[in-house]
Structure 1
Amino acid sequence: MSHAPRSINRRNALVAAALCALSGVSWAAYPDKPIKILVPWAAGGATDQIARMLAQPLSQALGVPVVVDNKGGAGGVIGTQSFVKEKADGYTLLLATSSTNAAAPHLYSKLGFDPAADFSPVVALCEIPNVMVVPAKSPWNSLKDIVGAAKQAPGKFTYGSAGIGGSQHLAGAQFKTAAGIDLQHVPYKGSGPAAQDLIAGHLDLMIDTGSLGSIRGGLLKPLAVASSKRLTALPQVPTFNEAGTPMLASAWYGVMLPARAPAEVVERLNTELNKLLKQPDIRQRLSDMGAEVMGGTSNEFAKFTLSEIKRYESIVKDSGAPKE
């Protein structure tokens, strides 16, 4: 048997390796070590649920471990500040949200990162409308019940959020303005801890994006959804418009890398994540959360985030949320 083909292949490989070395390109294929998804919120909320939903199938697609790292605090700002200091090599991903990457610039005078210049957008994942929820034992059974009670006792009732600037905070501020009532805002380090206190009765209400599991479990009672139409997952729950207080509020989620990430890494992650978003089981799990799948190219996500930064300027202003 001739050994010529093997010799030729070996010689070609050596030539290719030498060319890569001369051009400064790494011979190691991406990825060749574990990847971390940084979630700038405490465990248990919608952002954390989405990250954990994607971690295992992404690990299988890429052939390396993918772990979730929660760094909550200050409405997602602390974790995001930490993220932008990471190497832009594709081994630390951010589960970005509309709160951290669109609303926060208009809520914090000292943000610690540039929402456009410090990130390399990879892909938009999904969008989830906020849902008004109260404890299962709450005497309130409608949005009108809340508005009536709040007007009789201004400032008495509380609403929780994942932190200042989170979608729950802005939705609550929007609701106060739309209904003409006064509610007390109680910020947490994530929607998970806030939801736990709501279930325990330490809060009166919350306008959340990750509460469907608790609703199905009978722990929380949904009163209205802040979308233009009823959710497929909650067909019996009216929209805010139907319930008498017109309002739209939702949160979007996506994956980003630090600024100046290699284009080929962005493209690889975009391709794999788009594939995952097309898998029936993942689409069903997102639908069960009340989410609408997005997907698309990295350029589309980049343009979307820039438009969202501008759009949230007016949302924050109209909500009356104070700047920290």
Structure 2
Amino acid sequence: MDFFVCQQWRSTRGNHAGMVNLCKSLTKLNKENRVLIVPEIRLPVRGQTIVQSVYYFFIAIILTLRLKKGDRVFLMEYLLPTHNQFIISNIVKYTKPYIKCVGLAHLVPQMLNRHFACDAKLKKWGDSVDCILTFGSSLSKYLINRGIGENKVKTTFHYVDDYYNEDRPSNCKGRIQIIIMGGMQRDFDTLWTIIDNVQDVDFHLCVGNNNNIYSRFLLMKKMNLQLYGYLTEKELRKLMLQCDLSLNVMSDTIGSNVITTSMAMGLGMIVSDVGSIRDYCDESNAFFCKNSEDFIICLNNISKNPSILNDIKYHAMLKAKRFSINKFHNYIRDL
């Protein structure tokens, strides 16, 4: 039996993204699996960390009472000290050392540098689990370079939920529509420069509850820029269906829900060539850019030759099938 411990987040509550949905999907594929969901606790930082730690301590006790030989524990937000799943791995390993513990890490190196300034601390967390999973090769290399054993780090992929699979015509009609989603490691300064210098496409910028970004881009007063605050999942999916391209201007990525869902929805990809992006995209389904000039040249070229997107969109849908929940389940099962 596999036990999945995951953290509830307000941004992914009740939708088809995030670790809670992943764990529930894995349980549907194997009825023996069990999911333990930790609620999001919103308190001043110090109080929140203390309460979260107490919560994880009690989960560890519950697990030690239920675990038996052959069971496995998956910690779905590992290497995140503010939500300290290290407590669980430590207690499980101390009380039942024969139980396999797997930690999933999905913070970018820049954030891990802040949480783990000392290599010894990071190695201590690594020693407390049997395996660390990542969603991208760049994060795997980072962890190995920081002292985690190469045989302990495994690279898998960010799944895409069936909700987003959409087989649709790949031909572009009319003016090119471009959707911009996501907030993690997004380079909004470069994005501003791009939008300000591309006139002949329409941009749809989704900023969720980020009022600062919304207010900032509202000042552009561009006729070809439409801003969106919070959208329900259904509304976002409908907007994605109206678009041709997913624009991702990033400082880093180690596997992204935005990337995989965009591909599954048949959107061509135009992306920063950073991090683990080439684990998910190649020249058949994406345009890779190094800086704002690359993005501007690429988008202006697309606006003049929209037919070049047809193959890009088709191959995005094809490649997304590699990241299905069923394939992720099989990977976990055979781990």
* TM-score normalised to structure 1 length: 0.36
Structure ranking higher on relative contact order (CA contacts 8 Å, 6+ apart): 1
* TM-score normalised to structure 2 length: 0.35
